[in-house]
Amino acid sequence: MPRKSDATARTSAGYAELVKRLLPPDGPDPALLGPIVAMQTQAADRMLQRNQEWLRFTTDRITCDRALLASLSNPGDPAALASAWSEFFSGAIDDYSALYRRLWGQYAEEMTEAVFDSQKQARDLFMTSLQGAGFGEHRHATPV
């Protein structure tokens, strides 16, 4: 049975070979590569922001979980115990709902922005590639 590292090596080697075949011998054109790198950088930044928000939220929720466990470790009045349990779950549901609404709202706004940014970057990339190929240059038949 093949090991995972073998599959990774084959995949990486195959990908590297594909990149070599697709790129010109002197390497990628920086003007063409720039917009692609910019899009990937923006996507990575957005993912980092969402992950940081999620980790902050998770830290707060775990703190609340620990507080509930502390109150449950000293059972006293059953009504107080039921009240603590109910308040915890009600608060957790509210917190998760608020987080998801906020994150999905941000995600929708970011995706709308990203679509417009991607369209602009694709236009810029297209124009750069046309100019690199010599299209768009206005040459006169007679010297001016």
More confident position, 96 or 15: 96
**What is the overall mean pLDDT for the chain?**
76
Lowest mean pLDDT: which of 32-36, 49-53, 131-135, 140-144? 140-144
Of 98, 9, 85, the residue nearest 56 (C-alpha): 98
114 near 42, Cβ under 8 Å? yes
Say yes or no to pLDDT of 60 above 70: yes
More confident position, 9 or 76: 76
Please, what is the end-to-end C-alpha distance for the chain in angstroms?
A: 71
What per-residue confidence (pLDDT) applies to 4? Answer: 55
pTM above 0.85, yes or no: no
**Alpha-carbon distances of 57 from 23, 64, 112, rounded to whole Å:** 44, 11, 25
Of 93, 59, 66, 75, the residue nearest 83 (C-alpha): 75
Confidence of residue 59 (pLDDT cuts 50, 70, 90): very high
Mean pLDDT to the nearest integer, 21-31: 68
What per-residue confidence (pLDDT) applies to 55? Answer: 92
> Helix H segments across the chain?
4-22, 30-72, 78-132
- Cα 45 from Cα 66, distance rounded (Å): 32
Q: Which two structure tokens, joined as six digits, stand for 23?
A: 């790129």
Lowest mean pLDDT: which of 6-10, 13-17, 77-81? 6-10
